[in-house]
A and B are shown apart, each in its own frame.
Chain A
Amino acid sequence: MSNQTITVDDLHDAGLAAINVQATTTTRTFDVFDMHCAACASLIEDKLRDYQGVIRARVHYSTQRARVSFDPAIVDEERLLSAIDDLGYSASAESSRSRADIVKRQRRRHIWQFGLATLCAMQIMMLTLPRFLAGTEMEPELGPLLDWTALVLLLPVVFVCSRSFYRGALREIRMRRPGMDMAIVLGIVTALAGSVWHLVVGTGALYFDSVAMFVALLLGVRWLAWEQRERNQTAIQHAAGSATTDTVLRFHGDRCDENTHAVAISTVQPGDRLWIRTGEAMPVDCLLESDGAVCDEALLTGESAQVRHAAGEALIAGAINCGGAITVRAVATMDESTERRLLSLADDSEKPETLALADVVARYFMPTLLALASLTFIVMLPGGAALALERAIAVLIISCPCALALAAPAAQARTFAGLLSRGIVLRRVAALERLENADFFLLDKTGTLTTPSLVSLTALRADFTQTQARNLISILESSANHPLSTALRAVASSEPSGLNVHDLQWTPGEGVCGTVNGTEYRLGRAGFVHGLTHFPRTESSQEHLWLADSSGPICGIELGETLRPGAIELVAELKRRGSVEILSGDHEDKTNRIAELLGVQATPGSPTPEKKAMRVKTLQQAGHTVVMIGDGVNDSVGFAGADVAIAVGSAADATRASADIVCTTDHLSTISESIDYAARAQRVMRSNFAWAIAYNLIAIPFAIAGFINPLTASFGMAASSAMVMLNVMRLDVRNA
């Protein structure tokens, strides 16, 4: 769980490469098409890593993308793209236009191949029918005519439509990992060779119809699988892109007051110089050019204290500038920055699991299948070569490992897209299984169950009205992003205040000062407000803030906390699944009050992060599967120990290192939704496996015994794969 997926170091590398001529790393994202399983991804990865000059290569099956860092002096993008092409996949440097083009071309190819194969298969079936119906009554000259015509119709099926299978089989030979394409090609070649031999010698059964149907149905299944992946892809892009129309100030030259234009964030290119004002968030990943900056990265790293950066340091998209205005240089586009956050998720443990499965298929299933087919042929040989061949072909065709090979990746890719369409980022697939068995839920309080809220304004000075004070508070907090600021902003009256604010300066942990309509105001803790005016320091709790101008305090602000919408429902939902406990480092009586309100227990004694981790351990030793839910702040230690860690918060939270599942929306309902979905996904995956295994266990003996002829076998094969695909469709992906 210590895998740090956030790429501050990466970012720094990439940034240096963009700016420093001496630096040598470029990072590119490619779209990769035609990957069938996680094994394909690892094959491409290995191939890319073999190239000199490639520093890092990561290929994701779920997202159908490759990220490669390389030295442009040694190897270039074209070479890498053609390397992927050589393996039999197509790849394009990522840009939505070329992607759309490739998708269009691929869809056309799928339709064309499937349509042509179906057309030919139907014609061939029609030509084989007379033999079935008429049998020996048929005129002897008619037989060869029908058979040879069928063979002519089979040619396009074998030479045009099946090309992708040959390419796949070649690929599997090259990677020494026999897979489904091998089985397909073996089936096609054996059946075709046997039939042609029978046709030439004039006796024996012909399997033209079986071959044609086999190919047509396979292409149909492949098309279905492709369409589904494509749809997942769209869902992912939608979530990652959630295109913003916000603008940022871009400038040319040395001085930022000349040639400064507001441009859409989506048009920012690496190398652009940007002017980030106080309170603005970094629109893209960038490097700091000014001497220093103070940023709030709470939403990105879970670090609540503001972070100081020196010139040349990397700033992550989403970090909020709390100090004075700064200049930065972009090192990535908006899409790349967002993607970096969202796509770090397919990493980690997903890979070994799916790979392990592909290995099982390759290592045990395929050899067993080939052995069974050969054995069948040898055993049946005394009964005649024709009979032996028919049985062997039936075995090969019916047991195509498609269903087995598709069972896990199809379900996982669908789960991933389905959760993402709900704003839930699945970081580790393994978490799904553990989540299903979860029986103990530990909830963080502040930021998860509650939000800070304003209780009332106290000690209002006589020359201000309640509304005026509220409007001032609201505008001073207007560009901040803390939960507290959001609470304070909400106090504004609904009418437009007509106030203008500038020179906003934030002091970390203290407060904010700014000039509103020409007058300077401060809002914050007593000590901070004291700097502007002389007013008596008072005993004040942490939740007490002041608003003041130069002539003294205007009003005090009493703060409390309220339950977030959906908190009660969430706890009720979790209670049905297991025990619920609130684990908060806050004052014990405050935690108890909330716990009482929700009807659950609270861990006594305001546990520190270490004690939280201990609590998790104790529960695990007692045999519980522990889920920890928090907003990530102060939770990372506990997160790392928990069986499943769920982080709640905004989209930027996807970078949080130790969470297994990240809910990127603010709605607490997504948590119980993700638990539901996880359970459903597990059921679907299990039923996929059960189906694929049961199908093979039943179908193969039947084929050996001769109950199934090759034609029926090809229908059985297609049905088994289609069942897997259709089963996966039960997991819904929401249309955005």
Chain B
Amino acid sequence: MESLFILIPLALVLAVLIAVAFWWSTTSGQFENLEEEGRSVIDDNDRA
């Protein structure tokens, strides 16, 4: 059980890292146009 005393603070650090990554992805527009990208995969019209 002693391991939890290291693992829990570690989990906290990890959570912060994830939050930072999430913040970056929202502000850089990764979540915009979610439908369009999915559709473009099966869209045949873009074949050159």
The answer to whether A and B assemble together is: yes
Q: Footprint of B on A, CB under 8 Å?
A: 104, 107-108, 111-112, 115-116, 119-120, 123, 127, 139, 142, 145-146, 149, 152-153, 156
Is B22 a contact partner of A108 (Cβ separation < 8 A)?
no
Q: Could you tell me the distance between the alpha carbons of A119 and B17 in the complex, rounded to whole angstroms? A: 11
Contact of B11 with A123 in the complex, beta carbons under 8 Å:
yes
Residues on the B chain within 8 Å of A156, using CB: 19
Report whether B26 and A115 are in contact in the complex, using a CB–CB cutoff of 8 Å: yes
Closest 7 CB pairs of A and B: A112-B26, A108-B26, A111-B26, A111-B31, A123-B15, A115-B22, A149-B8
Could you tell me the distance in whole angstroms from the C-beta of B20 to the nearest C-beta in chain A?
10
Total contacting residues, chain B, CB less than 8 A: 17
Residues of A within 8 A of B5 (CB): 145
16 A-B Cβ contacts within 8 A?
Answer: A104-B29, A107-B31, A108-B27, A108-B29, A112-B22, A116-B19, A116-B22, A119-B15, A127-B8, A139-B1, A142-B1, A142-B4, A145-B8, A146-B8, A152-B12, A153-B12
Docked Cα-Cα span, A139 to B8, in Å, equals: 15
> Contact at B4–A145, with CB atoms within 8 Å?
yes
Q: Which residues of A contact B23 (CB under 8 A)?
A: 112, 116
CA distance A145 to B23 in the complex (A): 27
Docked complex Cα distance between A642 and B22 (Å) = 57
Q: Which of chain A's residues have a CB closer than 8 A to the CB of B31?
A: 107-108, 111
Residues on B with C-beta less than 8 A from A127 are 8
- B43 interface residue (CB < 8 Å to A): no
Measured between C-beta atoms, what is the minimum distance from B26 to chain A in Å? 4
Interface of B is mostly: helix
A120 touches B26 (CB 8 A): no
The residue that B32 contacts in the complex, of A107, A115, A116, A152, with Cβ under 8 A, is A107
Contact of A153 among B15, B22, B26 (CB under 8 A): B15
Q: What is the 8 Å Cβ interface bit string for chain B, positions 10-48, against chain A (1 contact, 0 not)?
A: 011001001100110011010110000000000000000
User: Which residues from A are CB-within-8-Å of B19?
Assistant: 116, 119-120, 156
Q: How far is the CA of A112 from the CA of B12 in the complex (A)?
A: 19
Looking at the assembled complex, report how far the CB atom of B15 sits from the nearest CB atom of chain A, in whole angstroms: 5
Asked if A120 meets B15 with Cβ closer than 8 Å, knowing A104-B32, A112-B23, A149-B8, the reply is yes
Nearest B residue to A113, CB-CB: B26
Residues in B whose Cβ lies below 8 Å from that of A139: 1
Q: How far is the CB of B30 from chain A (nearest CB, A)?
A: 9
Nearest CB of A to B21, in Å: 10
Q: Are A119 and B27 in contact (CB-based, < 8 A)?
A: no
Specify the chain A residue showing the minimal Cβ separation from B12.
A149
CA distance in complex: A116, B23 (Å)? 8
Contacts beyond the supplied A120-B19, A149-B8: 13 A-B pairs with Cβ under 8 Å: A107-B32, A108-B29, A111-B26, A112-B22, A115-B22, A116-B19, A119-B19, A123-B15, A127-B8, A142-B4, A149-B12, A152-B12, A153-B15
CB distance from B34 to the nearest CB of A (A): 10
Q: List A contacts of B22 (CB < 8 A).
A: 112, 115-116, 119
Q: Identify the interface centre among B4, B18, B19: most chain A CB within 10 Å of its CB.
A: B19
The smallest beta-carbon distance between B35 and chain A, in angstroms, is: 12
Q: Which residues of B contact A123 (CB under 8 A)?
A: 11, 15
Closest B residue to A148 by beta carbon equals: B8
Give every chain B residue within 8 A of A153 (Cβ-Cβ).
Answer: 12, 15
Contacts of A146 in B (CB 8 A): 8
A142 CA / B2 CA spacing, docked (Å): 9
The interface residues of chain B lying within 8 Å CB-to-CB of A142 are: 1, 4
* Chain A proximity of B41: nearest CB distance (Å): 21
Docked CA distance A588–B36 (Å) = 59
Give complex CA distance A156, B20 in Å.
12
Q: Which residues of A contact B1 (CB under 8 A)?
A: 139, 142
Residues of A within 8 A of B12 (CB): 149, 152-153
* B29 contact set on A, CB distance < 8 A: 104, 108
Q: Which residue of A lies closest to B27 (CB)?
A: A108
User: CA of A585 to CA of B22 in the docked complex: distance in angstroms?
Assistant: 68
The chain A residue sitting closest to B22, CB to CB, is A115
**Residues of A contacting B32 with CB < 8 Å?**
104, 107
Of all chain A residues, which has the CB nearest B2? A139
A116 to B1 alpha-carbon distance, docked (Å):
29
From residue B29, how far is it (CB to closest CB) to chain A in Å? 8
A104 to B31, CA, bound (A): 10
**Min CB distance, A734 to chain B, in Å?**
17
CB-nearest residue of chain B to A104: B32
CB distance from A168 to the nearest CB of B (A): 22
Q: Which residue of A lies closest to B23 (CB)?
A: A112
Q: Please give, as numbers and ranges, the residues of chain A lying within 8 Å of B8 by CB-CB distance.
A: 127, 145-146, 149
Complex: A112 Cα to B23 Cα, angstroms? 7
A104–B11 CA distance with the chains assembled, in angstroms: 32
Q: How far is the CB of B39 from chain A (nearest CB, A)?
A: 14
The CA-CA distance from A123 to B12 in the complex, in Å, is 9
Nearest Cβ in chain A — how far from B1, in angstroms? 6
Residues of B within 8 A of A112 (CB): 22-23, 26-27
- A104 to B27: give the CA distance in the assembly, Å: 10
Provide the residues of chain A in CB contact with B26, threshold 8 Å.
108, 111-112, 115
CB of A219 to closest CB in B, whole Å: 13
Nearest opposing residue in chain B for A139, CB measure:
B1
A119/B4 in contact, CB under 8 A: no
A119 and B21 CA atoms in complex are apart in Å by 12
Q: List the A residue with the shortest CB-CB distance to B26.
A: A112
State the Cβ distance, A428 to closest chain B Cβ, in Å: 35
Report the bound CA distance from A112 to B26 in whole Å: 6
Q: Which of A104, A111, A119, A149 contacts B18 (CB 8 A)?
A: A119
**Docked complex Cα distance between A112 and B18 (Å):** 12
Complex formed: what's the CA distance from A120 to B1 in Å?
23
Q: How far is the CB of A387 from chain B (nearest CB, A)?
A: 29
Please, which residues of chain A bring their CB within 8 A of the CB of B9?
149
In this complex, what residue of B is CB-closest to A127? B8
Q: Nearest CB to that of A109 among chain B residues?
A: B26
Expressed in whole angstroms, the minimum distance between the Cβ of A232 and any Cβ of chain B is 18
Q: How far is A146 from B12 in the complex, measured between Cα atoms in Å? A: 11
Complex interface: chain B residues within 8 A of A107 (CB):
31-32
Contact residues in B for A115 (Cβ distance below 8 Å): 22, 26
Determine the chain B residues whose CB is within 8 A of the CB of A119 once the complex forms.
Answer: 15, 18-19, 22
Inter-chain CA distance A119–B20, complex, in Å, is: 11
Please, which residue of chain B has its CB at the minimum distance from the CB of A126? B11
Bound Cα distance A115, B19 (Å): 9
In the assembly, what is the distance between CA of A346 and CA of B41, in Å? Answer: 41
**Which of chain B's residues has its CB closest to A124's CB?**
B15
Q: Indicate the member of A112, A119, A146 with the most B CB atoms within 10 Å.
A: A112
For residue B15, which residue of chain A has the nearest CB?
A: A123
Instruction: Give chain B nearest CB distance to A106 CB in angstroms.
Output: 12
**Alpha-carbon separation in the docked complex, A115 to B11 (Å):** 18
How many Å lie between the Cα of A149 and that of B18 in the bound state? Answer: 16
Taking the closest CB of chain B, its distance from the CB of A206, in whole angstroms, is 16
* B residues less than 8 Å from A108 (CB atoms): 26-27, 29, 31
